Amino acid sequence: MALLFKSDTDRIDIWQEALAKLMPDLEVRVWPDVGNAADIEFALVWNPPVGELAKLPNLRAIFSMGAGIDHLASDPDLPEDVPVVRMVDEGLTQGMTEFVVMAVLRHHRRIHDYQTQQRQKHWAQLVTPLAPDRKVGILGLGVLGADSAEKLVYLGFDVAGWSRTQKSLPGVESYSGDEGLRAFLKRTEILVCLLPLTTGTKGILNSTNLGLLPHGASLINVARGGHMVPEDVLAALDSGQLAEATLDVFPEEPLPAQSPFWDHPRVLVIPHCASVTLPKTAAENVARGIEAVRKGEALQNVVDFERGY
């Protein structure tokens, strides 16, 4: 028996349909219609209400609809002995890479400046370097960061990445640790954040770190709003240290109407959909996980709460 928690985007019927096709024997209930809580062996969640998972005494695995599990980690009652599986899915990766490549190209080719010129009916060609002369830096070289890096290398960009452990990815300069972060930021003209939100990465987009970027760099945050210190990002934009930002995630979502990001002339606001989990492919991952638990096999993509991701 599995329990589905409604996602914010409410594609619950599509999830049900996809799971029914793959696992016709699986009875699925939708929260809050839990029935007898003792029946529930698996939970599929995005952002469940705090304390709800702790009410399920026979849970065998929790499947996150998202790649990030920071919202689950912040539940003080999250059952400690139940594995949490995060979403690793080809569709989610493809969607993120499409978005990152689009945003990098947009900054690289100064599309925002052309839009400004168009509004002014001003005709002027802006010279931009070719990709090999543009340094892109990706914070986080995990499933998503590594795929974006690979596709940007394919386009010819000069790509580096920063991760906890050193990486060896074709064409990608690897940096790690505090010293590595400084060197990485100093060389990065277009910064992409694809880190998980943990105690070690919260607020990493702050004035000190943004100040290490070359003047006029661009920021693309597609990870979590908590990576940004919003006032520092705004100050960097206002001083010209940051030329532009593409922001898909915010400390408070939906972004409140009074947020200065909405009206900032050099910010593109996207409503947390750089990549969206598509039930059609993602349900296959969940079905594989349920099968593994049932057969007593090892689960893939289990969150390590010591590490925080």
- Closest approach, Cβ 275 to ligand OXD, in A, equals 6
Q: Which of 131, 223, 236, 247 binds ligand NDP (CB under 6 A)?
A: 223
- Please name the residues in contact with 299: beta carbons below 8 A apart, sequence gap of 6 or more: 61, 83, 85, 289, 292, 293
From the list 141, 218, 220, 133, the residue with the least C-alpha distance to 175 is 141
Beta partners for residue 245, in sequence order? 219, 267
Q: Which residue is nearest to ligand OXD (CB)?
A: 66
Report the site for ligand NDP in 124-143 (rule: CB under 6 A): 140-143
Amino acid at 54: A
Q: Which of 2, 195, 283, 290 binds ligand NDP (CB under 6 A)?
A: 195
**Residue 115 C-beta: closest distance to ligand NDP, Å:** 23
Which span (48-56, 113-121, 207-215, 217-225) binds ligand NDP, by CB under 6 A?
Answer: 217-225
Binding status of residue 68 toward ligand OXD by CB under 6 A: yes
| Residue 285 to residue 105: CA distance in whole angstroms | 31
Is 67 a binding residue for ligand OXD by CB under 6 A? The answer is yes
Q: Does residue 149 belong to the site contacting ligand NDP (CB under 6 A)?
A: no
Distance CA 100, CA 117 (A): 24
Which range of residues in 18-26, 60-68, 102-110, 279-287 is near ligand OXD by CB under 6 A? 60-68
The site that binds ligand NDP (CB under 6 A) totals a number of residues, namely 31
CA distance 188 to 66: 28
For ligand NDP, the closer of residues 8 and 27 by Cβ is 8
Q: Which of 109, 224, 264, 288 is catalytic?
A: 224
107 among known catalytic residues? no
- What is the CA 46 to chain-centroid distance, rounded? 13
Q: Does position 11 bind ligand NDP by CB under 6 A?
A: no
- Of 86, 112, 227, 272, which residue is the catalytic one? 272
Task: Assess 237 for contact with ligand OXD (CB under 6 A).
Answer: no
- DSSP label at residue 152: H
Residue 97 makes contact with ligand NDP by CB under 6 A: no
- C-beta separation of 159 from 153 below 8 A: yes
Residue 14 backbone phi and psi in degrees, to 5: -70, -40
Residue 63: helix, strand or coil by DSSP?
strand
Question: Which burial class, exposed, middle or buried, applies to 280 when counting CB atoms under 10 A from its CB (0-12, 13-18, 19+)?
Answer: middle
Residue 219 beta carbon to ligand OXD: minimum distance, rounded to whole angstroms = 18
Does residue 224 have an active-site annotation?
yes
Residue 87 binding ligand OXD, by CB under 6 A? yes
CB of 242 to ligand NDP, least distance (A): 19
Residue (40 or 73) nearer to ligand NDP, CB: 73
Q: Are 35 and 29 in contact (CB under 8 A)?
A: yes
C-alpha angle 243-246-251 in degrees, rounded to nearest 5: 115
Q: Which parts of the chain fold into alpha helices (H)?
A: 12-22, 70-73, 90-108, 111-119, 143-154, 177-186, 207-212, 230-239, 260-263, 279-295
Radius of gyration of the chain (CA): 21
- Summarize as ranges the residues that interact with ligand NDP (CB under 6 A): 67-68, 92, 96, 140-145, 162-165, 194-198, 200-201, 222-224, 248-249, 272-275, 309
The residues that are catalytic are 224, 272
- Summarize as ranges the residues that interact with ligand OXD (CB under 6 A): 66-68, 87, 277
